[in-house]
Each structure stands twice: as structure tokens, then as C-alpha cells.
Chain A
């Protein structure tokens, strides 16, 4: 059976010009019915042109293109393509003008079976710029809402711009919904000229009204998945990668995810910050570490012997610049306690020497230190002492029961060595070098042939044997203590 083709053309003039040549209005209506064919197409061009000298001109074109394809075959295709051109030109002053284009694209595809169907709307705005300098090609999709009417109740009404990209698919199989707002700028140039490519996604709200305003800019990336299953996965991934061949690369990002659901939940923050730094050259880098962390440990045994014996309980201290702890072994041990003598020189064989009986038990061992004491405004006490600062040690002794001859012998010795370094072997056998600080101290007679004399000796202890010993040649003397010893 041959194809059936029906065509109808109807052209009518619906306007009556007041004068010939001033107004041309025409309408063309075309309907093409096609049956039992694989293709149906309508192609029509409407051109309304109004030219006149009157104040008000109204030119409008309204066109509906409807392509409907209904068939029992499984594949169908319906498309509408339309071009709207509205042009208004004035060559005399006018007070009112109106140029508008209304474009409605509706595509409907319905199928009675569970087969693949598609519905799409494509709105292409294309502007082309030729070789003129400067050239420009701009596409602007402007959504503007303006609200007027102020100063009466309910005068403040929201004005908003909404650009919604929505895709919805309902099916029993897997779901995949994607929204792609692609901002792409491409600039190709053949010369070494500074190239700038930017994607500004600006959300700006401005106001000058005196009323109270609430302004907020929100860039929300929301992915929502609903499925009749227990486990759901919602992921937002925002990758920000800065790459620079030289200079500073900085990436700052705040990332928040919140999940509210009654079943098992997982919140994953995947913050990928990648910085690549490519350098050419030799860079000397030093890694330094200052040991700021140390520890200290002490211990003790509270026993009776611990209160009598030389038992400093030494722990451990790794703190930098820590004070040198006391020695673990007994210091200044007793040596030969046979005699108490004063002699000169303090090393080698004595030229002058006085031997006395041992002093009384009230001998003094004075240890004076050089310290700095300060007090803060808040009343806090601060004391500091450097280990190298002088320490003065003084021995003060009193010898009783001397004969007058022994007293004379001692005073003669002090007169001969006044202000000079002498040596002392004390009652514990320790050797000192120093000088007598009070040679004018009087000797008193307590009884018949009983004289008492006191003196102070300021000096330091020597780590050598007594002069005259086989080890005491004086050639290997070591001074182990920076201590000044003084005698009385």
C-alpha cells in the first residue's frame, strides 16, 4: 500500500493597513500529517516586519512547533528545532518599545514498556565574533528578579536567582544521577603572551537598603542517595590541586561531613592536598635538633645508716645544663692524723715548720659562695650561682694547752710568712695551701704553761701527699677543688 500524504497550506492576512505600504501582517499555518513513515518533519519560517512612523509599534511572532510521533515500534525520535529572531529598529524618538522572544521547548517521550527512553532539552546560546579587534564572544544567561513596592506591610519580598539543573530518573535498576555545571574557558595563543584563564564562580549579594538584611553565600555540594537497602554511601569529593613551578603553593580547605541515619554510619573525610615543588639546583639543607626534653630520677632508702654514712642517693638527670651532682664517693677522707703542722713552702721539703697539738673540737669549716639573689615585684626569690664563680673556704681553729715556747714559735712563723702562702697539714691529714688572715690574733695564757691561740686560714685543699712522703715530691700536684680553705 502506498504512503498516505496529506498537506495543508493556509495563508491569511489578518491586519488591514490604514494606508497602503505601512503595515504588513501575515500568518502562515502549515500542518503536515504523515502516517506510516519513519520520519516526520516540519520546517517553517515566520518573519514579521513592522516599519512605521507611529509612536507605538507592536510586532510579535508566536509559533508552536509540535512534533508528535506515536508508533508501536520500540524506537521513537521526536525533536523540535526553532529559531526566534526579534528585531526592533527605530529611527525616530519613541516612548514605548517592546521586544521579546519567548521560547518554550518541550520534549515528551513516553513509552508503555520498560525500555530505554530519553528526554532532553538543549538550549544553545551561541555568539560568534569575527576577526574584528577586539573580538569577543559572550554567552550570558541572566536570571533577574526585581521586587518593588516599599513602605507598606509585607513589602519585603525575596528576590532570588535560581539556576537549577535537575535530572530525575526512576527505575528499578541501578541509579545514576549526575549534574554537571561545567565552566570551561580555553585560550590558545601562539605568542609568549601572559595567559589568564579563570573560572569565577562568584556568589555575591549586595544591598543598600536601610532595613535589616540577612545575607549569605552558600556553595553546597550535596549528594543524596536513597535506596531500600541498609547500607548507603554518600561521598563528596572536592579536589583542589595547586601546581606552581616556583613560588608558594598554598591550599586552604574546610571539609565537613555529617551523616544522620539510624543504621551503621561511616564518616570519611578525604582531604587530598597535593603540592608539587620542582626545583633545579643544589640546595644545602641542615636538619638541627635541640634537645629540649630531659628526665630526672632520684631515689633513697630511709634507713638509720642513710642518715649517718656518706650516702648521697644519686639518680639520673639528662636535662641539659643540669648542675653537676655531688660525688658518689667520700670526699676529703682522713689521711695521716699524726700531726697538725704549718710549714713553708707548701710543697717540697719544709724550710720553716711549726708543729702544734690538735685543735679543739669547735673547729669551723666555713664555705662561702658567690651568689646573686634577686627578688621580683611579686615577691618571688631568685638565686643564681655560676659553678665557676669563686668559693671561699675558711678553716678556723683554736689550739689550747700550748707552752709559751710553742706560742712564740708559732708567732715567729706567722711573722716570717705573713701574707705569704704556707702549707698546712690538718688534724685529718689533709693538705692545704693558703695564708693566715689574722696574724694579729692574741694568744692568751689560761694557766701555768697553758696558752691558747686561734687563727683563721683561708686556702684550698691539695690533692697530694704530705711533704717528705715518698709520693710527695710536689711534681705531680693536682688541684681538684677550686676551694679556698681558711683556718682559725
Chain B
């Protein structure tokens, strides 16, 4: 299953394919709760539900050339809505929220592997 990045949304022009992310991907609500307790012990909660928005984090290990392609994609659409079809086939629309986007060298690759290196990148994504 491919991990598909498309942008900009809704006028999608560019599609970048990535391999499935590594284990350890996560998804979470963006809602927050602040609890306040009065002098007599009564509890109050201040809630920001954020309309059920979700945020995700995926880590990819890609070839050096694919990392360059992903960097170009981020460079173009870091301020625009993007459309993501994740490795489970679920589709999300939102923003790439990582800042900075850090590409880390992961290891040497053999001949024929584009760029002869692998790199890892962590993408943080948040629904609009």
C-alpha cells in the first residue's frame, strides 16, 4: 500500500508516492482540557474540542532521491492544504505541521538504490 501525498488541495496538481511508514505511527485528537478547581473544591473544566480534528505522525525511511522529492513537495506546499491517502487507505485533508522538517541520514544503500543512501523523515500532519 502506498502512502500518497497530493497537493495543493483542492486544485491538486502534484502527487508524490511514499512507501508505507515505519511502525510507530500515531494519531491523536487535538482536543484539550484544562481543569480548574475553586476554593471549595468544585471542579471546572475548560475544553477546546477543536471540532474533532485529528493529528497524525508518520516516520518514513526513503531513498535519498525520494527524500529530495519529498523536500521539494514540502517546499512547495508547506503553506497549503494537502490531501493524504495513508497506508490504510484512509484519506485526510490538512496541513503538514512539522517545523522544521528534518531529513536524517539513515544508512548507506547499495548500487541501484537512488542516491545510494536512505534517509528518515518524520511528518506531522493535522487535519484542517
Contacts and interface: CB of A to CB of B under 8 A. Distances in A.
Contact of B75 (A302, A317, A367): A367
A198 B86 CA distance: 76
Contacts of A311: 17, 69
Closest 5 A-B residue pairs measured CB to CB? A385-B79, A379-B51, A296-B11, A326-B72, A368-B100
Contact of A324 (B66, B76, B94, B99): B76
A327 B78 CA distance: 15
Given A361-B106, A386-B79, A392-B100, A327 B15 contact: no
A322 B9 CA distance: 10
Contacts of A302: 2, 17
13 contacts: A296-B11, A307-B17, A310-B114, A312-B14, A323-B80, A330-B65, A332-B68, A364-B103, A367-B74, A367-B101, A369-B78, A373-B95, A391-B75
A277 B51 CA distance: 57
A300 B83 CA distance: 14
Contacts of B63: 308-309
B68 A331 contact: yes
- Most B CB contacts (10 A, CB to CB) among A296, A312, A373 go to A312
Nearest to A306: B17
Interface in B39-56: 48-53
A310 B66 contact: yes
A298 B66 contact: no
B68 A310 contact: yes
B92 interface: no
A310 B107 CA distance: 18
A361 B76 contact: no
A307 B2 contact: yes
B65 A361 contact: no
A325 to B, nearest CB: 5
Contacts of A309: 63, 65-66, 114
B15 A300 contact: yes
Given A309-B66, A310-B114, A325-B13, A371 B99 contact: yes
Nearest to B16: A312
A362 B79 contact: no
Nearest to B113: A308
Given A298-B13, A310-B66, A312-B16, 15 more contacts: A296-B11, A298-B6, A306-B17, A308-B65, A308-B66, A312-B73, A319-B11, A362-B105, A363-B104, A369-B79, A381-B126, A381-B128, A383-B97, A385-B80, A391-B75
A313 B128 contact: no
Given A308-B63, A364-B102, A367-B101, A298 B15 contact: yes
A275 interface: no
A375 B95 CA distance: 13
A392 B52 CA distance: 33
A362 B113 contact: no
Interface of A: 294-300, 302, 306-317, 319, 322-327, 330-332, 334, 360-369, 371, 373, 375, 378-387, 391-392, 394
Contacts, number: 165
Interface in B93-128: 94-95, 97, 99-108, 113-115, 117, 119, 126-128
Given A323-B77, A368-B99, A380 B128 contact: yes
Contacts of B102: 364-367
Contacts of A297: 13
B19 A307 contact: yes
Most chain B CB neighbours (cut-off 10 Å) among A319, A369, A386: A369
A300 B17 contact: yes
A379 B127 CA distance: 10
B25 to A, nearest CB: 17
A298 B82 CA distance: 13
B28 interface: no
Nearest to B9: A296
Given A323-B77, A361-B107, A381 B16 contact: no
A334 B105 contact: no
B78 A308 contact: no
Nearest to A315: B13
A323 B8 contact: yes
A400 to B, nearest CB: 14
Contacts of A319: 11
A385 B104 contact: no
B91 interface: no
Contact of B11 (A294, A373, A379): A294
A326 B99 contact: no
Contacts of B2: 302, 306-307
A391 B94 CA distance: 21
